[in-house]
Amino acid sequence: MMMSIEPPAAIAAMPLPSVDSTGDELFRMGMLYSTGQGGAPLDYVSAHMLFNLAAMRGSVEAKVYRKELSQEMASEDVAEAQRQARQWLAHG
């Protein structure tokens, strides 16, 4: 008998960025992932992606946090975060 694996409820309830998300909303989501708070998993790649998108939408804070976070990340993880941001923009 196969069992389906469900994500924890907190993760399943995490807000996802929408095409209408403001820079401030994207920044707040990035903060959740960068700190592992609010039910978000600690995920620097997702946080960097969200800070990148927030910066594109005018969040000055996001630019600062993105730079600080990138100094803590491996270069391939930064590249993955940038790839995910481009992919999100292409499908948004």
Render pLDDT for 16-61 as a digit per residue (tens, 0 to 9): 788 889 999 999 999 999 999 988 899 999 999 999 999 999 999 9
Q: What secondary structure letter does DSSP report for 38?
A: T
Radius of gyration, CA atoms only, the chain = 14
Q: Which domain holds residue 66?
A: 21-91
- Confidence category of residue 3, pLDDT binned at 50, 70, 90: very low
In a domain, 86, yes or no: yes
Query: Is residue 14, in this structure, part of any structural domain at all?
Result: no
Give the confidence band of 91 by pLDDT, cuts at 50, 70, 90: confident
- Asked whether residue 1 is domain-assigned, the answer is no
- Count structural domains, the chain: 1
Across the chain, mean pLDDT equals: 86
Q: Is residue 63 part of a domain?
A: yes
Residue 32 in contact with residue 49, Cβ under 8 Å?
no
pTM across the whole model: 0.82
